[in-house]
């Protein structure tokens, strides 16, 4: 059964209540705080502190600061008035009812926040889709305009070519007509001569036969000449507009994704097994992935030194895996090796290139861990830069937003370092 804490201190103004609660040597991460408008509970095993407020408070704007083995609450009243006591005396049934009501209210607020976040995400997706469709429509119109220009250009070139082809044909037709008219005149003249020759005497029959034979030969030649000559051989060059069917590219980082996957594949193939420390190890213990999982398990059991040793050996095997440096940075943070944590986080960010969706979470963690190390070294400006870089990757992360706001307050001098 938990021990009730009674040695707390509180003060008030007409608008706020200041409550100080000792932690009794308990680690900060083991303290569990729950606050509602009528109820406050702080559970730090084996101690428990509960208070049922005299009047409602504004739990959304109230604050809690943990440090120096104390928790200091700044609770803002909903109505400006002086309280007679901090807590009201209620029976067990009323206590249970207040607890259940407070939990339901907290769950409803969390549900509303989740729904608001989902609605904002849907709006962002809708806007992105609208922009993408607009870009595709502009690209389609641009391609259609290019096609229309090419069609008009090809039509003009074809018309010019036809005009050039018509001119020699027309000249040939005129020449043929002139030649035929000239031949017809000659034929008429010969017919007249033939008529005159028939009236002559029989002595001239031999001459007429020769003339007739020559006329026959002439007519045969004339018939041959009247047949049009075959057309000259030529080639027509036609340029067709290439048909392009553009496909909408929904992912804007395909090349970067392929480069990232290629680098990861090369890193896995680049395992160097010529390290002296590996001679006495089993075959699976020579695998960087196995060593990484081993380090993660040791980290979960708070055996940070052993986890660092596992990550060190994995890095010797393959120094191109960014998660090894990222996990080792977390161990150094736990052991307060702050400069080493900054160095490992920076190395992880160097390997996490190009920045793509697959490594977004790892880049965000690297910025947060390096920023945390900077803040613990009291380099708050550098730490704030890393937290803002993490927020650019995950803008909806409330924890990072709150931590960044606290760092800004420390830099501005409005809040002491916790």
Q: What is the pLDDT of residue 349?
A: 92
Burial class (CB in 10 A: 0-12, 13-18, 19+), 408: middle
Q: In this predicted model, what pLDDT tens digit does every residue of 128-187 receive, in sequence order? A: 988 999 999 999 999 999 999 999 989 888 888 877 776 666 677 777 777 777 778 778
195 C-beta neighbours (distance < 10 Å), count: 9
Q: Is the pLDDT of residue 397 over 70?
A: yes
**Per-residue confidence at 418, pLDDT binned at 50, 70, 90?**
very low
Packing angle, helices 380-393 and 398-412, rounded to 10: 150
Closest CA to 359 of 267, 271, 288: 267
C-beta of residue 390 within 8 angstroms of C-beta of residue 364? yes
Q: What is the rounded CA–CA span in Å between residue 373 and residue 340?
A: 9
pLDDT at 333 over 90: yes
d(CA 313, CA 287): 10
Q: CA-to-CA distance for 17 and 11, rounded, in angstroms?
A: 6
Q: Of 71-85, 151-165, 229-243, 293-307, where does mean pLDDT reach its minimum?
A: 229-243
Say what the pLDDT of residue 71 is. Answer: 80
How would residue 410 be classed by pLDDT, with cut points 50, 70 and 90? Answer: very high
What is the per-residue pLDDT across 348-375, written as a single tens digit (0 to 9) for each?
A: 999 988 888 889 999 999 999 999 999 9
Beta bridge partners of 35: 40
Sheet containing 39-44: order of strands: 3-4, 47-52, 39-44, 32-35
Please report which confidence band the pLDDT of residue 24 belongs to, taking 50, 70 and 90 as the band edges.
low
Q: Rounded mean pLDDT of 100-109?
A: 81
Q: What is the mean pLDDT of the chain?
A: 80
Whole-angstrom distance, CA of residue 95 vs CA of residue 165: 105
For domain 255-412, give the CATH superfamily. Tetratricopeptide repeat domain (1.25.40.10)
* Domain residue ranges of the chain, discontinuous segments joined by +: 3-89, 170-226, 255-412
Mean pLDDT confidence for 382-389: 94
Task: Cis check for the bond before 339: say yes or no (omega within 30 of 0).
Answer: no
Distance of alpha carbon 194 from alpha carbon 134, whole angstroms: 89
Classified by CATH at the fold level, domain 3-89 comes out as Immunoglobulin-like (2.60.40)
Query: Region 291-310: what's the mean pLDDT?
Result: 92
Query: Whole-model pTM?
Result: 0.38
* pLDDT digits 0-9 by tens, 176-227: 777 777 778 778 877 777 666 666 655 556 665 665 666 666 566 655 556 6
């Amino acid at each position: 059964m938990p021990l009730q804490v009674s040695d707390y201190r509180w003060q008030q103004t007409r608008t706020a209540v200041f409550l100080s609660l000792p932690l009794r040597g308990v680690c900060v991460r083991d303290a569990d705080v729950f606050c509602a408008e009528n109820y406050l509970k702080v559970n730090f095993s084996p101690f428990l502190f509960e208070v049922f407020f005299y009047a409602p408070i504004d739990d959304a704007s109230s604050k809690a600061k943990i440090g120096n083995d104390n928790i200091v609450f700044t609770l803002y009243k909903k109505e400006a008035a002086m309280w007679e006591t901090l807590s009201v005396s209620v029976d067990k049934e009323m206590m249970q009812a207040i607890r259940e009501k407070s939990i339901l209210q907290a769950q409803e607020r969390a549900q509303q926040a989740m729904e608001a976040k989902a609605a904002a995400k849907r709006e962002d997706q809708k806007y992105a889709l609208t922009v993408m469709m607009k870009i595709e429509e502009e690209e389609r119109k641009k391609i259609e305009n290019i096609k229309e220009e090419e069609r008009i250009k090809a039509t003009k070139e074809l018309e010019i070519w036809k005009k050039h082809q018509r001119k020699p044909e027309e000249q040939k037709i005129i020449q043929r007509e002139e030649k035929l008219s000239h031949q017809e005149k000659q034929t008429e003249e010969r017919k007249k001569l033939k008529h005159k020759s028939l009236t002559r005497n029989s002595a001239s029959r031999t001459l007429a036969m020769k003339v007739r034979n020559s006329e026959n030969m002439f007519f045969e030649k004339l018939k041959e000449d009247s047949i049009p000559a075959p057309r000259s051989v030529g080639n027509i060059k036609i340029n067709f507009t290439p048909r392009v069917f553009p496909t909408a590219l929904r992912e804007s980082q395909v090349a970067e994704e392929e480069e990232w996957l290629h680098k990861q594949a090369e890193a896995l193939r680049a395992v160097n097994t010529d390290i002296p420390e590996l001679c006495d190890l089993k075959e699976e213990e020579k695998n960087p992935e196995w060593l990484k999982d081993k380090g993660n398990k040791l980290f979960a059991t708070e055996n940070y030194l052993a986890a660092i040793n596992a990550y060190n050996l994995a890095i010797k095997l393959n120094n191109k895996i960014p998660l090894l440096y990222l996990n080792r940075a977390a161990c150094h943070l736990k052991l307060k090796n702050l400069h080493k944590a900054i160095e490992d986080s920076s190395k992880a960010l160097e390997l996490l290139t190009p920045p793509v969706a697959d490594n977004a979470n790892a880049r965000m963690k690297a910025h947060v861990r390096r920023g945390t190390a900077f803040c613990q070294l009291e380099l708050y400006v550098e730490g704030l830069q890393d937290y803002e870089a993490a927020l650019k990757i995950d803008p909806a992360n409330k924890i990072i937003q709150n931590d960044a706001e606290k760092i800004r307050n420390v830099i501005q001098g409005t809040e002491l370092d916790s």
